[in-house]
Amino acid sequence: MPRMNMVQALNSAMDIMLDRDQNVVLIGQDIGYFGGVFRCTDGLQRKYGEHRVIDAPIAEGGIVGSAIGMGVNGLRPVAEIQFADYIYPGCDQIISELARLRYRTAGDFYAPVTIRTPCGGGIRGGQTHSQSPEGIFTHLCGVKVVMPSNPYDAKGLLIAAIEDDDPVIFFEPKRIYNGPFDGEPDKPAVPWSNHEKGEVPSDYYTIPIGRADVVREGEEVTMLCYGTMVHVCLAAAQAMDVDAEVIDLRTLSPLDVETIRQSVEKTGRCVVVHEATRFSGYGAELAATVQETCFYSLEAPILRVTGWDTPYPHAFEWDYFPTKKRVSKALEDVLELA
Amino acid sequence: MPRMNMVQALNSAMDIMLDRDQNVVLIGQDIGYFGGVFRCTDGLQRKYGEHRVIDAPIAEGGIVGSAIGMGVNGLRPVAEIQFADYIYPGCDQIISELARLRYRTAGDFYAPVTIRTPCGGGIRGGQTHSQSPEGIFTHLCGVKVVMPSNPYDAKGLLIAAIEDDDPVIFFEPKRIYNGPFDGEPDKPAVPWSNHEKGEVPSDYYTIPIGRADVVREGEEVTMLCYGTMVHVCLAAAQAMDVDAEVIDLRTLSPLDVETIRQSVEKTGRCVVVHEATRFSGYGAELAATVQETCFYSLEAPILRVTGWDTPYPHAFEWDYFPTKKRVSKALEDVLELA
Amino acid sequence: MSRKPRLHIPPAPARPGADPDFSYIDIVEAGSVPRPDPHTRLREIPNSLIFDMVRVLDDAHAPVGPWDPQLDPEELQAGLRFMLETRLYDDHMLRMHRQGKISFYMKSRGEEAVSVAAAMALRPGDMLFPSYRNQGLQISRGRNLADLMNQCLSNSADMCKGRQMPIMYHWRRGNIFSISGNLTTQYPQAVGWAMAAAIKGEDDIAASWIGEGSSAEADFHHAMTFAAVYMAPVVLNIVNNQYAISTFQGTAGGERRPFAARGPGYGIPGIRVDGNDFLAVYAATTWAAERARAGTGPTLIEHVTYRVDAHSTSDDPSRYRSKAEPQAWPLGDPVERLKAHMIKFGQWSESRHEALVAEITEQVASAWEEACSYGTMAEGPFLDKNELFEDVYRDMPTHLIQQREQMLEVDRWGEEN
Amino acid sequence: MSRKPRLHIPPAPARPGADPDFSYIDIVEAGSVPRPDPHTRLREIPNSLIFDMVRVLDDAHAPVGPWDPQLDPEELQAGLRFMLETRLYDDHMLRMHRQGKISFYMKSRGEEAVSVAAAMALRPGDMLFPSYRNQGLQISRGRNLADLMNQCLSNSADMCKGRQMPIMYHWRRGNIFSISGNLTTQYPQAVGWAMAAAIKGEDDIAASWIGEGSSAEADFHHAMTFAAVYMAPVVLNIVNNQYAISTFQGTAGGERRPFAARGPGYGIPGIRVDGNDFLAVYAATTWAAERARAGTGPTLIEHVTYRVDAHSTSDDPSRYRSKAEPQAWPLGDPVERLKAHMIKFGQWSESRHEALVAEITEQVASAWEEACSYGTMAEGPFLDKNELFEDVYRDMPTHLIQQREQMLEVDRWGEEN
Ligand SMILES: Cc1ncc(C[n+]2csc(CCOP(=O)(O)OP(=O)(O)O)c2C)c(N)n1
Ligand SMILES: Cc1ncc(C[n+]2csc(CCOP(=O)(O)OP(=O)(O)O)c2C)c(N)n1
Ligand SMILES: [Mg+2]
Ligand SMILES: [Mg+2]
């Protein structure tokens, strides 16, 4: 089986879809000739042409707006927003249009647009290259929100997203583009090549949108996480020698509540981990859902480990990031709580 | 004491601040000569001049962006977004700039901008004149989010917001501009003039940002709500004859957790009510916070009564709206649980 | 604030009480603007297309100059009919709003030519991205009036299934896109649609309409930039009806330059056209469509017209503009002008006109009857409220199935209590 | 997709391997563009200001034509010094990045005149809203280099308290606004600042800079519209350095029209200026500032220049453009051109130049030493990490106090475990 990092896996997904479906087009800043600032679209313009892999002006609103129009005209656009921090100029087209077109036309019009965008910190990017704005988009109805944690899932989910007739916001945790990261900044970087999820079939396959993945089974506590935090949670569970069940949500909306329910009913404890700011973030929904669904099984309050409610700082990024240490302490806390 | 509806109370707040502080300016669509589509700025341009009460082009991003610049140059701009549904073109300036300017400059620059915008449904406005997007803005750090439920609070909070050196997003529940609404659409409309919170001093006063108001004391269950829903909750509690404590949050961010904690520790039960869509909305934060803070006092899961996870429909608006009936049933449910 | 403020505020022409003043509108003689070949390069297109005004009908109602589209009598009669249908439909619906039968309405009186002539100049396969004041597009493409009314009634036959406010139509089969409550969003969408047509090598084009007030929105800039960069086959229209609710076109940036002038700055030709001259709108649209279809690129058309009535049923223009303005509007009425032109050339008569008005009045009334048979706001048949949860996604996810169940549970509970 | 795609894609001039081709840049003779009085009404301003290029220095380095600002030798020497300081500062910081001393950097090589001449033509009270490639503004206003370095190091003296990536400077006392990572957001902010100045009746003006790529963002349109409507006293600059990371200026909409041409469409005069000609930038800025200060309104200036180096330290231009481009750039180097001009008129010499370079090199090195004494990424003094929670709000709210406590608790816990 070929080994791929996440960038290569995403590239492979788009390559396959450009090849299988001539209605698939890519549009975004620097994605064409250059192949993208993270190289996710490397080589695709050469292979499929300038009218299939399109370099766009620096106007996120124009990228999303024109992608909607293309979608309405039968194409399946995959738009790249260069950093998730720059998605906001496209917010109106996403929120007011993309998410609601099918509803407001009773299904007569829809735009099967996928929006790919790298998110998350830990790369010394400061407050404008580190954000995780998923909590804004999970609040919308009419779009699906996905965030993979490894190359294998990334490819299967991206293909599923492109094939999906609903719009999908596809967040790519850039910290783990090249290798898994367990939340210990001082350890040397490791590549995906030694990781089992770095084994990626070169052919077409999909991972269904809407299904979480139990990446570690356990009895003592349920850890809900996604993206980079999956690796941090796994490392913390191991370091603390806790029998934790780690659920990689993969799709944030619609949420796979059933998988969560089964786990928390078994463990009775739950820790929610994400990198985004805490207040009114996506972790709040997870906590709210868990207490609604599993109230009578809960033995302790659901704890959240998240970015602080400040912008992402350049200097103290490892105090901001939910590191292995922070997650480990939360595990200890939740287990000590009666 | 003068009687005012919410429109008049807001008008009075702006009138007073324009008079007291020559750095206060208003900017927005149709707010000048015309006095605003909801008439909140009626007469203010005539009184203070075209350069203090400024009719703006239809560009929410330009309104917020220029207001930030004015704020940096020593003014205290109050920007009106005609409907909260139209705030999204201003999102980038709000999220990337307004909310983070003080932080990124370590306090050297800031913009004391207040953004007023009417929100909420129940006025047959369909999906683009009914939204309650507060959950997007409560997720931001660096802005405060306020929503009053009555004329008295509206005036005091708006003056406090204008005086605040931090940016404030000030949501005005338009369904109760002219009178309280208890969530029963078939009952005749009532004006504010008979309501005690319709008594509004004509002079300057403030209501502090960051403090919730216990509008009904009770022992059995805590109801967390704001804006229009305060009246619905009060009506439901009365109709069901439940000894409910109703907390009008008034400020959604930063949240007055202490008032909530005291209440839920006493009642052991909690219902969260808002009009916005449910998934990943602001109610999730309330539920998450309550279970974190009061876990050991809770006798039943925290229930949420909210708009459904669909756009706001024109035809079935009363099936969408959290009516007195829906809130009442939730009260019954939460009391029956365990 | 020690010194005298000197912020410039664009002056409004005539507030209530004042005499109307349209002296700011530059109007040239009909026929005076040259018509370049549609494939002319931008640099060679004369500035008069932007600063003057493409007009075909002269003051004596004769067509003059190079832009005369030379339509035959049947086409003119069709145009007149569609404009009248639009107007009488509007009048009827306003009455229905006054009677509490619909919750909201927006008329297009005075602006009928902008939609009708454009729709006729385009091909049926061309995709239209309208604003809320383009009902004439629907009508010119042969939409049943009852279908439009069903939407305004949110009744059981509403194409939107009750999800949108009145007038937010769409028509998939008729190639008319959905109207959004959010201004200008359709503009870059139209450009994207046109880009897709070019990518697929198809020769259908897109067209979109916004008001002059809406041109201040970001999406105007997005649309212009993308259209220019990719030379998208699209016709972008700005309907300058002088007002955006209460604010005058100067507040949108029209004080020193016509909106048509925005075009060339982006590398897109602009045309300023007499929007109340059916023939001029037809001609300008034809020119732009030919250009787009051949791959020569997009065109920006500013239609100079006047919003005769209130912005919407929520508006009262007497609060912000001179009551005498509509009569003082110098470009007249599009229906009257086309009618006078046809009569002058013996293609029409007062009596035929009266008969047509009567016929359409009857047609509108019976359409209303038909629409009401599918339900009104007060009486059934109603839409199935379960529909509330459909079409958020293609397939209904679990949480919406549960929420639908909760809604029904509340109903059952309500009946018991 | 049965038929042949016909989406237009703006062609890039020279990809890797190809010969540089700048034939698309229209360059007129120095001195050939007329200089209207700054208070001229837009309609009377000749189109040559947009389509030609304001240039003062001719090929023999002599100043010619009406735009010659006639600066005295001291001013020229100051300009040369600031440009050299900017360049040597850039070079030093790039080396520091290569050595792992800072996490990121962006150079402005080749574009020094755009910032330095503009800063000198404006008054100290004028407020500047820069992009990330305007370090020359800071330096021309007398900023200590060590202050800039402190920011890049996120050290204990960093004016941003470690919160921003390198180069995201601000300078309150120097009237230079904060640089945002989000492109173009400063543009409408500058307009708002200028509106406030007009509201207060003050005669300070605002100026802002964006790249040509950034002109596609919505905020460009917002700024232009608001500036035009309110005649805001602001100078809006587009620095057209031909590239936006990997994409050529055609992708931003520059294929058929200069960016300066956007101005008149909004009712704002545009000037296309030789951005590598110090005197021309100075003259154009002076013209625009005079106009703004007098209340005649805003100006859009396009500076035609070239990004000689990589976009940033994360970029490698050899992947997307011809390696020979920098040498082939037809407008030369701003430092060399000003130097040659000064030497020609006996105001400068090679030896003085060498001495100045040596002096500045020394100055930069000692500034770096000073900066490092406030801490580096590796060595203290460090900022107090409690600062992480300051300045989100003016007063710290309860939940941030609690979160700060949690952070410290984790540290304590970590030490114990
Ligand atoms: C994004 C957005 N902002 C504000 C509004 C509120 N609004 C509705 S119509 C309108 C005026 C539009 O004027 P114009 O574009 O000139 O069109 P006209 O009504 O004259 O046809 C405004 C401000 C809106 N619908 N969407
Ligand atoms: C809103 C936003 N979108 C995208 C980016 C990523 N980005 C940073 S610089 C840049 C290129 C800007 O080019 P240009 O405006 O020409 O300025 P230059 O770098 O040439 O000075 C891009 C796309 C960003 N910072 N902000
Ligand atoms: Mg209008
Ligand atoms: Mg550039």
Q: Tell whether B206 is covered by a domain.
A: no
Tell me, yes or no, whether B187 lies in a domain: yes
The domain boundary, picked from B198, B229, B257, lies at B198
Burial D10-36 (b: 16+ CB within 10 A, else e): bebbbeeeeebeeeebeeeebbebebe
Mean pLDDT (whole number) for A41-67: 98
Are residues A133 and A36 located together in one domain of the fold? yes
Specify the amino acid at residue D13.
Answer: P
Evaluated on CA atoms C202, C204, C210, C215, the torsion sign reads: positive
User: According to the model, what pLDDT value does residue A337 have?
Assistant: 85
Q: Distances from the Cα of C291 to the Cαs of B162, C14, C287, in angstroms?
A: 52, 39, 6
Residue B205 lies in a domain: no
Sorted by sequence, the CB contacts under 8 Å of residue B284 that are 6+ apart come out as A280, A284, A285, A287, A288, A289, B135, B278, B304
> Peptide bond before B254: cis, by omega within 30 degrees of 0?
yes
Q: How far apart are CA A142 and CA A127, in angstroms?
A: 29
Rounded percentage of chain A residues whose pLDDT exceeds 70: 100
Ligand nearest to the CA of B86: 1
Q: How far apart, in whole angstroms, are the C-alpha atoms of residue C210 and residue C212?
A: 7
CATH of the domain at A46: 3.40.50.970
**pLDDT tens for residues A158-175?**
999 999 999 999 999 999
Kindly report the CATH number assigned to the domain that includes residue A245.
3.40.50.920
**CA A110 – CA A69 distance, rounded (Å):** 10
Looking at the domain assignment, is residue A253 inside a domain?
Answer: yes
Q: Are C129 and C208 in contact (CB under 8 A)?
A: yes
Burial category of C91 from C-beta neighbours within 10 Å (exposed 0-12, middle 13-18, buried 19 and up): middle
Q: How confident is the model at residue C1 (pLDDT cuts 50, 70, 90)?
A: very low
List, for residues D115-134, the tens digit of each pLDDT value. 999 999 999 999 999 999 99
In tens, the pLDDT along B4-51 reads 999 999 999 999 999 999 999 999 999 999 999 999 999 999 999 999
CB A61 within 8 A of CB B88: no
Amino acid D302: pLDDT: 98
Enumerate residues 6+ apart whose C-beta is below 8 A from C72: none
Q: Is residue B130 domain-shared with residue B183, that is, in the same domain?
A: yes
Reported as a single tens digit per residue, the pLDDT across D272-291 is 999 999 999 999 999 999 99
A 10 A CB-CB count for B251 gives 24
Conformation bin of residue A74: beta by default, left when phi > 0, alpha when psi is -120 to 50: left
For A254, half-sphere exposure in the C-beta direction (CA atoms, 13 angstrom radius) is 22
Listed by start position, the domains of chain C span: 42-373, 385-416
Among residues B162, A12, D267, D335, which one has the least CA distance to residue C255? D267
Does residue A254 have a cis bond before it (omega within 30 degrees)?
A: yes
In a mutational test of the pocket of ligand 1, which residue from C111, C214, C215, C221 has the highest number of ligand atoms less than 8 Å from its CB?
Answer: C214
Q: How far is C-alpha B259 from the chain's CA centre?
A: 18
The pLDDT score that the predictor gives to residue D2 is 53
D417 pLDDT higher than 90? no
Q: What does the block give as tokens for C198?
A: 């070019």
CA neighbor of B69 nearest in space, from B96, B48, B98, B95 = B98
What is the whole-number distance in angstroms between the Cα of residue C168 and the centre of ligand 1?
14
- In angstroms, rounded to a whole number, what is the distance separating the alpha carbons of residues B191 and B180? 7
How much of chain C exceeds pLDDT 90, in percent?
98
Number of structural domains (chain A) is: 2
Look at residue A293 and give its three-state secondary structure: helix
Strand order from edge to edge, sheet including A213-216: A213-216, A244-248, A221-225, A270-277, A303-307
pLDDT in tens, B95-107: 999 999 999 999 9
Domain-embedded: residue A318: yes
Question: Using CA atoms in the order A206, A207, A210, A216, what is the torsion angle rounded to 10 degrees?
Answer: 180
Asked if B247 and B181 sit in the same domain, the reply is no
Q: Which residue has the tokens 């787009």?
A: C292
Residues A163 and A31 in one domain: yes
Please confirm, yes or no, whether A195 is among the known catalytic residues. no
Q: What angle do CA C223, C229, C235 make, to 5 degrees?
A: 45
| Alpha helices in C294-378, H assignment, sequence order | 325-328, 334-344, 350-373
Look at D219 and B108 and tell me if their CB atoms are within 8 Å: no
Torsion of the alpha carbons at A62, A63, A68 and A69, rounded to the nearest 10: 60
Provide the sign of the torsion angle of the four alpha carbons B118, B124, B128, B134, taken in this order: positive
pLDDT at B338 over 80: no
For the segment D348-372, the average pLDDT, to the nearest whole number, is 98
Query: What is the tens place of the pLDDT at every residue in A255-293?
Result: 999 999 999 999 999 999 999 999 999 999 999 999 999
Mutating which of C167, C171, C195, C398 best tests the A interface, going by the most A Cβ atoms within 10 A?
Answer: C195
Contact flag A139-B138 (C-beta cutoff 8 Å):
no
Is A208 inside a domain boundary? no
Specify the pLDDT at position C5.
86
3-state secondary structure string across D107-173:
CCCCCHHHHHHHHHHCCCCCEEECCCCCHHHHHHCCCCHHHHHHHHHCCCCCCCCCCCCCCCCCECC
| C-alpha distance from A259 to closest chain D C-alpha (Å) | 30
At D326, the amino acid letter reads: P
CA distance B287 to A219: 25
Summarised one tens digit per residue, pLDDT across range C290-323 is 999 999 999 999 999 999 999 999 999 999 999 9
Q: What is the pLDDT of residues B189-208, one digit of tens each?
A: 999 999 999 999 999 999 99
Residue B173, preceding bond cis, omega within 30 degrees?
no
* Cα separation, D265 vs A180, whole angstroms: 51
Cross-chain Cβ contact B91/A96 below 8 Å? no
Q: Give me the long-range contacts of C68-74 (CB less than 8 A, separation at least 24).
A: C68/C31, C68/C279, C68/C283, C69/C121, C69/C279, C69/C282, C69/C283, C69/C286, C71/C279, C71/C282, C73/C342, C73/C347
Angstrom distance (rounded) from CA B228 to CA B177: 10
**Three-class SS of residue D66?**
coil
Q: Could you tell me if residue B280 is left (phi over 0), alpha (psi between -120 and 50 degrees) or otherwise beta? A: left
Is the residue at A206 inside a domain? Answer: no
A 16-35 residues inside an 8 A Cβ radius of D: 22-23, 29-30, 32-35
Give the tens place of pLDDT for each residue, C83-141: 999 999 999 999 999 999 999 999 999 999 999 999 999 999 999 999 999 999 999 99
- Residue D372 has a CB neighbour count (10 Å cut-off) of 18
Secondary structure string (H, E, C) spanning D209-250? EEECHHHHCHHHHHHHHHHHHHCCCEEEEEEECCEECCEEHH
Of B69, C304, B314, give the one whose Cα is nearest residue D190.
B69
User: Could you tell me if residue B18 is left (phi over 0), alpha (psi between -120 and 50 degrees) or otherwise beta?
Assistant: alpha
Average pLDDT over residues D222-251: 98
| Full residue range of the structural domain in which residue A332 is found | 213-336
CA angle C179, C180, C185 (to 5 degrees): 110
Partner-chain residue, chosen from C214, C244, C403, that has the shortest CB–CB distance to B308: C403
Q: Which atom of ligand 1 is nearest to the CA of C131?
A: 21
Please write the tens of the pLDDT for every residue from A228-247: 999 999 999 999 999 999 99
Q: Which of B82, B87, B91 to mutate to test the pocket of ligand 1 (most atoms within 8 A of CB)?
A: B82
ipTM above 0.85, yes or no: yes
CA-to-CA distance for B299 and B222, rounded, in angstroms?
A: 12
d(CA B311, CA B137): 18
* Structural domain includes residue B1: no
Q: D295: left (phi > 0), else alpha (psi -120 to 50), else beta? A: left
Model confidence, pTM: 0.98
How far CA D113 is from CA of D86, D133, D178, in Å, comes to: 10, 12, 21
CA distances B191 to A94, B151, B177, Å, are 38, 11, 9
The residue count for chain B: 338
> By the 8 A CB rule, do B190 and B242 touch?
no
- Residue B6 to residue B171: CA distance in whole angstroms: 12
Strand order, beta sheet including A251-253:
A53-55, A24-28, A76-80, A114-119, A168-173, A144-146, A251-253
Residue D42 CA to residue D36 CA, distance in Å, equals: 10
The stretch A310-336 carries a mean pLDDT of 97
- Residues A229 and A316 grouped into a single domain: yes
Alpha carbon distance, N-terminus to C-terminus of chain B: 47
User: Over pLDDT 70: what percentage of chain C?
Assistant: 100
Contact, A331 vs A143, CB < 8 A? no
Same domain, B50 and B165: yes
Interval between CA D193 and ligand 3 midpoint (Å):
28
Name chain C contacts of B88, Cβ cutoff 8 Å. Answer: 182
Structure tokens at D379: 């060595």
pLDDT exceeds 90 at position A312: yes
Interface check D373 vs A, CB under 8 A: no
Task: Give the pLDDT of residue C2.
Answer: 53
Put simply, the chain C residues between 2 and 21 with a CB less than 8 A from any chain B CB are 5, 7, 9, 12, 15
Residues B180 and B253 in one domain: no
Dihedrals φ, ψ of D145, to 5°? -60, -35
Please check whether residue D54 is in contact with residue D271, taking contact to mean a CB–CB distance below 8 angstroms: yes
Q: What is the pLDDT of residue D334?
A: 98
pLDDT tier at D1 (50, 70, 90 boundaries)? very low
**What are the pLDDT digits (tens) for A111-137?**
999 999 999 999 999 999 999 999 999
Report the distance separating Cα C30 and Cα C17, nearest Å: 32
CATH number listed for the domain at residues C42-373: 3.40.50.970
Among C403, C404, C405, most B C-beta atoms within 10 A, so best to mutate, is C403
Same domain, B298 and B174: no
A26 and A137 together in one domain: yes
Residue C95 Cα to ligand 3 midpoint, Å, equals 23
pLDDT given for residue A188 in this prediction: 93
Nearest protein Cα to ligand 1, atom 6: B82
**Chain A: partners with 3+ C-beta pairs within 8 Å:** B, C, D
Q: Are residues A221 and A101 in the same domain?
A: no
One domain, residues B171 and B246: no
Q: Does position D3 have pLDDT exceeding 90, yes or no?
A: no
| Domain end (from B174, B198, B222) | B198
Q: What is the DSSP letter of C281?
A: H
The string of DSSP letters for C16-80 reads TTSPP--TTS--PPTT-S----TT--GGGS-THHHHS-B--B-TTS-B-STT-----HHHHHHHH
Q: Looking up tokens 């500034």, which residue turns up?
A: D367
pLDDT for residue B337: 85
pLDDT at C282 over 60: yes
Assess whether B88 and B228 both reside in one domain.
no
